[in-house]
Structure 1
Amino acid sequence: MGDQNQLLKDFAAPNSQGTQSSITRPNVEANNFELKPSLLLIVQQNQFGGGATEDPNLHLSIFLEYCDTLKLNGVTNDVIRLRLFSFSLRDKARAWLYSLPAGSITTWDQLSRVFLIKYFPPSKTAQMRNQITSFVLKEGESLYEAWERYKELLRMCPHHGLEKWLIVHTFYNGLTYNTRMTVDAAAGGALMNKTIDEAYNLIEDMAQNHYQWVNERAPQTSKGGKYEIDALDHISSKVDALFKKVESLSINSVASTSISCEICGYVGHSALQCQLGNPSSIDTSGNEQVNYVNNFNQKGDPFSNTYNPVWRNHPNFSYRNPPENPMPTSNFGPPGFRAPQSNLPPQRSNLENMMEKFVTTQSKLNKEFKQVCDDSIKIE
């Protein structure tokens, strides 16, 4: 009858009874029981948020270590753990704890079981167990690195259910042939002739010994490191310097091609390089044409009355039929002038010489780089 007289807004108003804890804290009879603020601070510095990359088993192990630092007369472990555990959670994990039914958790075993079921479900257990049983040595992985990775898988899934003999068998079968032969040689013939504990301890000792010796020799060896980087830097600097030279050469070449000859007017060479101004480089078969040009330049007036005997038999001043094979004309000489034929081999440009030098240098650098890489592989 009392509820019927209440207003509707009173039923929608929140109250403190709606946020009850899911953990039932045991009563403490000891009067000196107190959770130190320093202990609470340490627990809060290592909180679990429920992320995919967080390890719930590791979180429980660390939490129990903190709880074991506190011992009081008349106070059980469940009293301390149940009161501290909520401080070790944050974000979604803490919201999940309060989402459980109020007072449903009364012991630490019950709380840890519910926590692992939530954040380490059976599907994740099956996945981790499959990674353990299908363990294989990776390429380039040392014995120590493989053994540590294998033990990390076992630690992340402590409830894997695999016996110790099966753990040793799985790791041994996952090794490569050469590594397995090394383990057998250290075992005195075959690892399978050892007991379970002897085989496990032998692998542990070999891994630790390999780790110690690798660390001592690490500054002396290089695994594709200093030599490779230095060689690449050397090649890169050479290529940059060559490109700068080619660019400067191209600029000079463009500037030189803009010079026109003062004798023939042809663009691409100077007057000193012109064949018309250097009679010694002209073939004897072209004397008549050269004399014509020289007379033309000396007289200055081709239509003057001065008689020039050289013009008598010139093909351009004859009424005879042209020869069957007329002389080839040049683009930069007077009509009828035949370009002199040079017996010298064609000269190569500076750009071609630079490219040939670059190819030769690059081939030499590639051979040196390959030799350095081979030496580093032999050292390993």
Structure 2
Amino acid sequence: MSKNGDEAEKTLCEWATQEVTQAPLCITFPEAQNFELKSGLIHLLPPFRGLENEDPHKFLKEFHVVCSGMKPHTVTEVQIKLTAFAFSVQDAAKEWLYDLPSEILGIKQGKKEALHTYWERFKKLLAWCPQHGISDYQLYQCFCEGLIPMERQLINASSGGSPSDMTPTEISALIEKLANESKHSATEEEWYPDHPRGVKEISNAHLES
């Protein structure tokens, strides 16, 4: 999440006006040397269409057996399965796969999740998926779109208008600053002004009566 060489960073707004690559599939395909999924091997894969009468557990067992049997010595079983899975699902199951967002691209802030917690969760996802292939522009666009309305207003106000007029580096620094400030909020009620203040559930039968 830094500048590429000496090329000046664009703002999110400038980036959005350019042609961007297709959003990645929810599966991150591993890099493997000298490995190509042959058409003959693809035909051995069990099909799964997502029908009500199909047994997903049986499908996964058959999928495991086929993938284990086609594994070359230089390729791991995980690499085989990640590459082959999209060829195994069909019809409604394939539509489901294509509509399934990448975990990073589909990130959303929880209704009662503090900004610093959401920010740390976002950074952990990036650390877990170092080869996600998603540009910094798209990453921060997804992060900002996943904010709850109150947090989005805070980001807009702190950015002097809109984060789309900032570069990824500037947005990252701003979010880091605001996230650190949110850690020092005295109570959950202070961070969430719509949260009921001083209201506790009472289960004591005597007090209720």
Q: TM-score, normalised by structure 1?
A: 0.28
| Larger RCO, structure (CA 8 Å, separation 6 or more) | 2
- Report the structure, 1 or 2, having the larger helix content: 1
Which has the higher Rg, Structure 1 or Structure 2? 1
